[in-house]
Amino acid sequence: MASAIRPQLVLFGSSIVQMSFNVGGWGAILADLYTRKADVLLRGYAGWNSRIGLTVLDSVFPKDATIQPSLVIVYFGGNDATGPHPSGLGSHVPLSEYIDNMKKIILHLKSLSDKTRVICLTTPPVNESQIEVAYGQLFDNQARRNEDCRAYAEALVNLCKELNVEGINLFTAIQNRDDWADVSFSDGIHLSSEGSKVVVKEILKVIKQADWEPNLYWLSMIPEFPEDSPYYAVCPDGKTTSNVSFFICNWQKQWVDI
């Protein structure tokens, strides 16, 4: 029989992560694809920046844990990249500090075990006019601008190369379709189901192409308890049963050819 201990894929970050389990969200899609193969765990905290994320690393990812994650997908940056508020309060983190924080986060995650892999997601673009419609004057003194999103995204990609971890540039990936600004967001900041599809596609491409042992690509993993059973539904021949352990649902088929 297969082991009952599944690999853990942990999603760690701010609201882009917290909301990823919404209907059609990228976290929910990953959890569905990894059914019977891995546990996708949500550790998302809306409003957080890299400063706060850094302070909880030992609590969320203790180094002495009996079971360490096989993969951690990290997202911080959107809140860090907001404009500084005149009061000194708010989520803004200067770019140099943001990169230093992310370096510490990545190194902590890599140190959890020899088999713990890390993927970093950069800040996506934003639809500035949609933000104004959705939030009015809320962000007037702490604006989200694409020029800042680009700078933070590019800096994180460079850091990932330096630390030999996988980095996905969502700022560029989401803009690969002409109508990205109209379809990618629910409020100009957070991802719609269309925006989430881009994230899933990019994550699956990285996992599929990565030279990792064990292989964490969903189609390459053996489902938990894959054995035949006489208690499954009986086939038309009346003599055998239908093992659905490897069955791919219709809504999952769009993710087969990545």
Q: What are phi and psi of 243, to 5 degrees?
A: -80, 115
**Beta partners for 9?**
40, 71
The one catalytic residue among 14, 15, 50, 184: 14
Instruction: Report in angstroms the alpha-carbon separations of 250 from 12, 33, 222, 254, 256.
Output: 29, 12, 19, 8, 11
Tokens, residue 237: 């021949």
Lateral strand order in the sheet of 166-168: 39-44, 8-13, 71-75, 117-121, 166-168
Please choose, from the candidates 208, 246, 222, 249, the residue with its C-alpha nearest in 3D space to the C-alpha of residue 71: 208
- Do the Cβ atoms of 151 and 98 come closer than 8 Å? no
Tell me if residue 85 is catalytic: no
Catalytic residue among 70, 91, 184, 190: 190
The question of whether 187 is a catalytic residue gets the answer yes
Catalytic pick from 32, 39, 100, 187? 187
The pair of three-digit structure tokens given for residue 10, joined into one six-digit string: 């942990």
Catalytic residues: 14, 187, 190
